[in-house]
Each structure stands twice: as C-alpha cells, then as structure tokens.
Amino acid sequence: MPIYSYRCASCGHSLEALQKVSDAPLRDCPACGATELRKQLTAAGFQLKGSGWYATDFKGAAASAPAAKPEPQASAAATAPCGASCACH
C-alpha cells in the first residue's frame, strides 16, 4: 500500500497516510478541521505485507545464505584477483 503525504492549505499541518490506491484522497485536516488537505508530490513510499515473493525471495536472503568454505590464505591470494571474498572461491 502506498504512503501518501498531505499538507493543509489552511494551517500548514503535514501528515502521512497509508492508503490503498483506490481510496479517495483525504480532505479534512485533523489539526484545524478545514477541508483543505492536498496531496504532496513526494518520492514513492510503500509497505510490503504478507508472505509473498518479497518475504520468501529477498527479505533476509543475505543472512540465510549458506556460508562459503574458506580457502587457505596462500592459494586464495595467489589465484583470486577478486580478493577471495566472492562466491566463486
């Protein structure tokens, strides 16, 4: 779900709201009560929920990856132009 930023044209109050794309824009300012809230143009923000592709394929993948077997320092330094810290060693 996207996170939208709003600003009241009447009092200048700013807020962020987690809304569905299909939800109607907010209009009533919680600070002054005026119907002057306007969406701000900002960088995209969203929140991932559930157990979909993100949670299963990417989230925490670095922590759960199997550790590579360490090479002896002499052979790794002699044959590894990449520094022996990559997955090919």
| pLDDT digits 0-9 by tens, 42-64 | 877 666 676 666 666 666 655 55
Q: pTM for the complete prediction?
A: 0.50
Return the C-alpha torsion angle 18, 24, 28, 30, nearest 10. Answer: -10
Q: What is the 3-state secondary structure (H, E, C) of 66-84?
A: CCCCCCCHHHHHHHCCCCC
- Enumerate domains of the chain plus CATH numbers: 1-48 (2.20.28.10)
Confidence of residue 31 (pLDDT cuts 50, 70, 90): very high
Confidence of residue 1 (pLDDT cuts 50, 70, 90): confident
